[in-house]
Amino acid sequence: MSVKSVIPPSPTAEAYAADEDQGEVFTLDEPLALFINWLALASKREINDSNAMALATVDPDGLPNARMVLLKDIDERGLSFFTNLESAKGQELAAHPKAALVFHWKSIRRQVRFRGPVERVSDAEADAYFATRAKGAQIGAWASPQSQPMEGRFALERRIAAETARHGLGATPRPPHWSGFRLVPVEIEFWVNRPFRLHDRLVYRRQGPGDAWRTERLYP
Ligand SMILES: Cc1cc2nc3c(=O)[nH]c(=O)nc-3n(C[C@H](O)[C@H](O)[C@H](O)COP(=O)(O)O)c2cc1C
């Protein structure tokens, strides 16, 4: 099977021209409010995980690493997600606390990119979110040394059985190696598909938290 047979061909001129013109979509001055507005629309259209975002970090050699995580909270401080602190991403963020995030919603053909420093959420925030997770996911956080080599699926099942015996009854405490990070955006770019790949881009930049946002349009 050739790769070409599974990669969609470039659209024809007619298909490009028929791309939906979404009109004015940069409708709010405050970028986090605009993002929440777009996310609300995406959550109605995406088949699942409209809060999924690619998280890019760098390893000790400066080699980038990217993987999906779920956005779990957003407020004026930034965007938070939760993970194992000893995973590759956890270690990379501890060593280089800066990251990029990107959302791509195929259903509405929009993209939003964030860049900025990353901080740990407070223990209270992590406890509060952990308490909302399903019991099985709480046990899983104890049982899975995320990103470590695993001998086989059975090894995981053995660990889950052991942690279920320890934490099966009553409230499950948050593991010390499990918490969240918050990306504090200093750059946010909104992108929307337009006919003929002549997309619209609007970037917001600020020096740091609390500073005013400046906007700029970018060529597609
Ligand atoms: C849609 C989606 C959402 C995910 N959400 C999370 C998440 O919120 N936290 C997490 O630790 N891993 C999440 N994962 C798994 C990560 O992509 C990744 O496999 C795992 O965290 C290990 O990454 P690392 O070795 O770079 O640390 C998600 C995967 C997908 C596909």
Residue 32 maps to which CATH number? 2.30.110.10
pTM score, whole prediction: 0.95
Q: Tell whether 170 is covered by a domain.
A: no
**Mean pLDDT, to the nearest integer, of 78-92?**
98
SS (H, E, C) the chain: CCHHHCCCCCCCHHHHHHCCCCCCCCCCCCHHHHHHHHHHHHHHHCCCCCCEEEEEEECCCCCEEEEEEECCEEECCEEEEEEECCCHHHHHHHHCCEEEEEEEECCCCEEEEEEEEEEECCHHHHHHHHHHCCHHHHHHHHHCCCCCCCCCHHHHHHHHHHHHHHHCCCCCCCCCCEEEEEECCCEEEEEECCHHHCCEEEEEECCCCCCCCEEEECCC
pLDDT, mean over the chain: 95
Contact 56, 100 (CB under 8 A): yes
For ligand 1, what atom is nearest to the CA of residue 87? 27
Query: Can you tell me the distance from the alpha carbon of 117 to that of 77, in angstroms, rounded to the nearest whole number?
Result: 11
Task: Give the Å distance between the CA of 68 and the centre of ligand 1.
Answer: 5
In a domain, 147, yes or no: no
The pLDDT of residue 5 is 86
For 34-48, 117-131, 196-210, which range has the lowest pLDDT when averaged over its residues?
Answer: 196-210
54 alpha carbon – ligand 1 mean position (Å): 9
66 in a structural domain: yes
Q: How many domains does the chain have?
A: 1
Residue 155 counted as domain residue: no
Query: Does the residue 156 lie in any domain?
Result: no
At 177-198, the pLDDT tens digits run 999 999 999 999 999 999 888 8
What pLDDT, in 10s, does the model give residues 4-17? 889 888 888 888 77
Q: How far, in Å, CA of 30 to CA of 141, rounded?
A: 36
Q: Which residues surround ligand 1 with Cβ inside 6 Å?
A: 49, 52, 65, 67-70, 81-84, 87-89, 146-147
Q: Evaluate whether residue 2 is within a structural domain.
A: no
Give me the mean pLDDT over the 149-156 stretch.
96
Residue 166 lies in a domain: no
Tell me the pLDDT tens digit for each residue of 53-65.
999 999 999 999 9
List residues with catalytic annotation.
Answer: 197
User: Does residue 160 carry a pLDDT above 90?
Assistant: yes
Q: Can you read off the two tokens belonging to residue 4?
A: 């070409």
User: Which residues constitute the domain of residue 59?
Assistant: 8-134+177-217
Q: Is 112 inside any structural domain?
A: yes
| Greater pLDDT, 198 or 114 | 114
- Whether the pLDDT of residue 143 is over 90: the answer is yes
